[in-house]
Copies of this chain bind each other. A is one copy, B any other.
Amino acid sequence: MEAKLRELKTLLAEVNDLESAGAVLQWDQETYMPTGGAPARGRQMATLARLAHEKFTSPIIGKLLDQLRRHEESLPADSDDASLIRVTRRDYERAVKVPAEFVGKLSEHTAATYQAWTQARPANDFAAVRPLLEQTLDLRRQLADFFPGYEHIADPLIDYADFGMTAQTIRQVFGELRQELVPLVQSITAQPVADDACLRQHFPEQEQLAFGATVIKRFGYDFERGRQDKTHHPFMTKFSLGDVRITTRCREDDLGEALFSTLHEAGHALYEQGIRADFEATPLAGGTSSGVHESQSRTWENLVGRSRGFWEFFYPKLQVAFPEQLQRVSLDSFYRAINRVQRSLIRTDADEVTYNLHVMIRFDLELQLLEGQLAVKDLPAAWHARYQSDLGLCAPDDRDGVLQDVHWYGGVIGGNFQCYTLGNILSAQFYESATNARPEIEAEISAGKFEALHDWLKENIYQHGRKFTAAELVQQATGQAMTIAPYVRYLRRKYGELYRF
């Protein structure tokens, strides 16, 4: 059995190598590739995706998994080997349902769409990407149809990202949360909007990036196992457990853009860098779900990075980095500025409270597209209508409307957006458990130290990789199933203090 397991691991490492190579090609495409490289790059990434899929779905792996079933059953379910076999089988059974040719086609289409979007967004030209988006929708519906028996067509797509969740379960959680958020947003926006002019001065890019790097180094992000570059849309990507990279974008007229995206992506990266080294190049070496992943980016960006304690330590340093801009701005004003709540048009600029409303709009529109209730040609209008009804706002164009997020133009419709709000919910639930278990966390943060929090997260979440499902992990780490209560408590307390209600 040991020999069979070793054979399986060798084959899985080969699949991992092909996937990792694809990730490098994608990172390069989004960071440094000249435009002339686009056509071949799409084909190259498609070939890698197809070959990885072919290798992973080969009957040899299926046979090994069969042969290893007895071995798996003889081991405790939470042993490393049993977990590796179980998770590999789950992935395998999903992967064999999708033809390799389809995977290659989807990958090639994704590259073409992404490239078109990088030009269409600045040109405010939805028409240019519309046919590509129609193809994306078609391909995603085809993908869902490889998994017959679903209740909702989005379910198989959601399952990829957040194993165990469905359109129905998410709608329910979102419904509960919405009932809490709507009055909260009303209470806050009834009051005068906080002044964030202090963030909208001129901040030279180099100093911004240097400050962000200093912060995430203190978080524990290891620059010897990662690096940061600039892209249209910030992201985290992993080429191995020793090479977990992040990207950011910078605006010299907005201090928040690079800073908070850096903390956000660093949160994702801390998760991946914290996975046990001996899971390298196996299916266990990854985050267990998109929601749990997002909980970590939100933890470091919001629960830590927008907290008063954090800025008690870092604000004097930020003032040293930008003395002209900030020496006359008090910590209180700065803290209010970075936590300003306001109905707005851009998801990635949105505050912690209204952010979830942006997510819910996208989630609902995705479902409608997949259901066939909404045509791609009507998407811009539907977008505007929902922003009008939910946020009372109308985008002046598609650039800041339906073209604002990369996701749909990255070849993915369905299973995309729920993770952000699940992440918000889980971040507060994990954080509450962490601070209960390690009461020193908040005092440490106010002293610019993050060991207690980072250690708790590594121990309870990061190290395990995909060994446990999101549901199992949440139960183990917090003693209960996912619940919105800590998140609602967190928002009420923080914004109650800020807005005195």
**How many whole Å from A278's CB to the nearest CB in chain B?**
13
Question: B24–A242 contact, CB under 8 A?
Answer: no
Cβ-based interface call for A297 (8 A):
no
Cβ-based interface call for A227 (8 A):
yes
Given contacts A21-B48, A37-B240, A40-B280, 11 further A-B contacts (CB under 8 A): A18-B48, A20-B44, A21-B24, A34-B223, A36-B225, A37-B239, A37-B243, A40-B239, A40-B242, A44-B239, A44-B240
Q: Mark A40-84, 1 if CB is under 8 A from B, else 0.
A: 110110011001000000000000000000000000000000000
Asked whether A225 and B34 contact (CB < 8 A) given A24-B24, A24-B28, A243-B40, the answer is: yes
- CA gap between A226 and B40 in the complex, in Å: 13
Identify which of A47, A48, A223, A281 gathers the most chain B CB atoms within 10 Å of its CB: A47
Cβ-based interface call for A13 (8 A):
yes
- CA gap between A35 and B33 in the complex, in Å: 22
Identify which of A32, A41, A242, A243 gathers the most chain B CB atoms within 10 Å of its CB: A243
Cβ-based interface call for A229 (8 A):
yes
Cβ-based interface call for A38 (8 A):
yes
- CA gap between A17 and B33 in the complex, in Å: 16
Cβ-based interface call for A181 (8 A):
no
Closest CB pairs A-B (n = 8): A37-B243, A40-B240, A36-B225, A36-B242, A17-B47, A17-B44, A21-B21, A36-B224
Cβ-based interface call for A14 (8 A):
yes
A side interface size, CB within 8 A: 39
Give the nearest-CB partner of A37 in chain B: B243
Cβ-based interface call for A25 (8 A):
yes
Residues of chain B lying within 8 A (CB to CB) of residue A43: 13, 17, 281
Cβ-based interface call for A39 (8 A):
yes
Cβ-based interface call for A196 (8 A):
no
Residues of chain B lying within 8 A (CB to CB) of residue A239: 37, 40-41, 44
Question: A21–B25 contact, CB under 8 A?
Answer: yes
Out of B17, B21, B34, B240, which one reaches A227, CB within 8 Å? B34
Cβ-based interface call for A442 (8 A):
no
Cβ-based interface call for A364 (8 A):
no
Q: How many copies of this chain sit in the oligomeric assembly?
A: 2
- CA gap between A33 and B35 in the complex, in Å: 22
Identify which of A28, A223, A281 gathers the most chain B CB atoms within 10 Å of its CB: A28
**How many whole Å from A15's CB to the nearest CB in chain B?**
9
- CA gap between A14 and B100 in the complex, in Å: 14
Residues of chain B lying within 8 A (CB to CB) of residue A24: 21, 24-25, 28, 44
- CA gap between A323 and B38 in the complex, in Å: 40
Residues of chain B lying within 8 A (CB to CB) of residue A223: 34
**How many whole Å from A434's CB to the nearest CB in chain B?**
27
Cβ-based interface call for A222 (8 A):
yes
Question: A37–B242 contact, CB under 8 A?
Answer: yes
Question: A34–B226 contact, CB under 8 A?
Answer: yes
**How many whole Å from A235's CB to the nearest CB in chain B?**
16
Question: B222–A36 contact, CB under 8 A?
Answer: yes
- 7 example contacts (A-B, Cβ-Cβ < 8 A) are as follows A20-B40, A21-B44, A34-B223, A35-B224, A38-B242, A39-B240, A44-B240
Asked whether A224 and B21 contact (CB < 8 A) given A280-B40, A281-B40, the answer is: no
Residues of chain B lying within 8 A (CB to CB) of residue A33: 243
- CA gap between A256 and B456 in the complex, in Å: 54
Q: Mark A456-467, 1 if CB is under 8 A from B, else 0.
A: 000000000000
Q: Which residues 333-375 of A sit at the B interface, judged by CB distance below 8 A?
A: none
Residues of chain B lying within 8 A (CB to CB) of residue A48: 17-18, 21
**How many whole Å from A53's CB to the nearest CB in chain B?**
14
- CA gap between A33 and B242 in the complex, in Å: 10
- CA gap between A217 and B225 in the complex, in Å: 36
Identify which of A222, A227, A239 gathers the most chain B CB atoms within 10 Å of its CB: A239
Q: Mark A269-298, 1 if CB is under 8 A from B, else 0.
A: 000000000001100000000000000000
Q: Mark A287-320, 1 if CB is under 8 A from B, else 0.
A: 0000000000000000000000000000000000
Q: Which residues 228-246 of A sit at the B interface, judged by CB distance below 8 A?
A: 229, 239-243
- CA gap between A47 and B47 in the complex, in Å: 14
Q: Mark A191-235, 1 if CB is under 8 A from B, else 0.
A: 000000000000000000000000000000011111101000000
Give the nearest-CB partner of A35 in chain B: B224
Out of B14, B37, B51, B242, which one reaches A39, CB within 8 Å? B242
Residues of chain B lying within 8 A (CB to CB) of residue A44: 17, 20-21, 24, 239-240
Q: Which residues 369-396 of A sit at the B interface, judged by CB distance below 8 A?
A: none
Out of B34, B226, B242, B281, which one reaches A243, CB within 8 Å? B34
Question: B41–A240 contact, CB under 8 A?
Answer: yes
